[in-house]
Amino acid sequence: MSLPPDLYAVFGHPIGHSKSPRIHRLFAEQTGQSLHYEARDVDLPQFEAAVRAFLGAEGGRGLNCTLPLKEAAWRLADTLSDRARRAQAVNTLALRSDGSLFGDNTDGVGLLRDLICRLGVIVPNGRILVIGAGGAARGILAPLLGESPAAVVIANRTPERARILARDFSDLGSVSAVGFDQLPGRQFDLVINASAASLTGELPPLPDDLLASGAGCYDLAYGTEPTPFLLWGQARGARISADGLGMLVEQAAEAFELWRGVRPDTRSVIELLSNERGF
């Protein structure tokens, strides 16, 4: 008699749109791993009890956490990776053999793999603008600064949040904060939209001459259509203009490897999902 597949899930609210079950199913098929991965609608008030039940009575082996649960997952973990400690957010929980809960944050490394390995963006010595100062921005700053850019500037609708973020990461490199009104006259080699503006079809107020020659635009958000920020970049001659689908697949691969000890091929999965939506 064969054993039941190992159980994993993504918790979040809302969660209906999540591509994670599909991505992990593709990874499992590709690597011959026996696992079941599902999406569950879990909001903050139920989060801790839902985690305990999933990893206890239900026998779950690991979890992804998405909005609005990443900070709660960071608080719940017994031990943390360095990058999760820095980000103060956890998107991957793994049950260890001693019953303890290990928390990791794979968002930043997922972004960098997509940017550098797939899209060929060169970060060292580049001038990088990060738009947004929420959880996603916090998760990508340490890995970005680890690539030795010339400077990282954070611009946020609420400038005070950008200032706090810049202060928290200032030991890792050149990082500063501005409001959108301070962007005119400045140019960047890479502009990363880590704000949630695209989710409501909005575009942050960006000056027309923001992109240096050959610059790249990357939107962490993704959907069935190009985001307003991607269209903005394309119209201003960005050399690369990509959304966060690749990052989503890469952060999932990192979690999969943590849980299963096997690294799936991400390129074929990104290609499949990109072809399905047609851009």
Q: Is 106 exposed, middle or buried (0-12, 13-18, 19+ CB in 10 A)?
A: buried
What is the longest distance spanned by two Cα atoms in the chain?
68
Q: CB of 220: closest distance to ligand NAP in angstroms?
A: 4
Size of the site for ligand NAP (CB under 6 A): 28
Q: Where are the beta strands (DSSP E) in the chain?
A: 6-12, 35-41, 62-65, 79-80, 92-95, 101-104, 127-131, 151-155, 175-178, 188-193, 211-219, 240-243
- Asked if 61 touches ligand NAP (CB under 6 A), the answer is no
- Shortest Å, Cβ 13 to ligand NAP: 13
Asked if 229 is part of the footprint of ligand NAP (rule: CB under 6 A), the reply reads no
Q: How far is the CB of 103 from ligand NAP (least distance, A)?
A: 16
Distance CA(194)–CA(139), nearest Å, equals: 10
Out of 248, 269, 270, 273, the residue judged to bind ligand NAP by CB under 6 A? 248
Shorter beta-carbon distance to ligand NAP: residue 17 or 97:
17
Asked whether position 132 contacts ligand NAP by CB under 6 A, the answer is yes
Residue 209: alpha-carbon gap to chain centroid: 27
Contact 279, 246 (CB under 8 A): no
58, 202, 209, 225: residue in contact with ligand NAP (rule CB under 6 A): 202
Q: Is 70 a catalytic residue?
A: yes
Q: Which is nearer to ligand NAP, 133 or 253 (CB)?
A: 133
Q: Of 63, 69, 247, 273, which one interacts with ligand NAP (CB under 6 A)? A: 247
Residue 143 near ligand NAP by CB under 6 A: no
Short-list 105, 1, 11, 106, CA closest to 58:
11
DSSP letters, 214-258, are: EEEEEES---SS--HHHHHHHHTT-SEEEETHHHHHHHHHHHHHH
Active-site residue (options: 24, 70, 83, 86)? 70
The reply on whether position 198 binds ligand NAP by CB under 6 A is: yes
Residue among 109, 80, 111, 110 at smallest CA distance from 93: 80
Q: Mark the segment that binds ligand NAP (CB under 6 A) among 46-54, 183-191, 209-217, 219-227.
A: 219-227
Q: Are strands 62-65 and 92-95 parallel, antiparallel or unpaired?
A: antiparallel
- Does 18 participate in binding ligand NAP (rule CB under 6 A)? no
- Of 12, 60, 108, 204, which lies in the binding site for ligand NAP, with binding defined by CB under 6 A? 204
- Just list the catalytic residues: 70
Residues that bind ligand NAP (CB under 6 A): 67, 107, 110, 132-137, 156-158, 161, 194-199, 202, 204, 220-222, 244, 247-248, 251
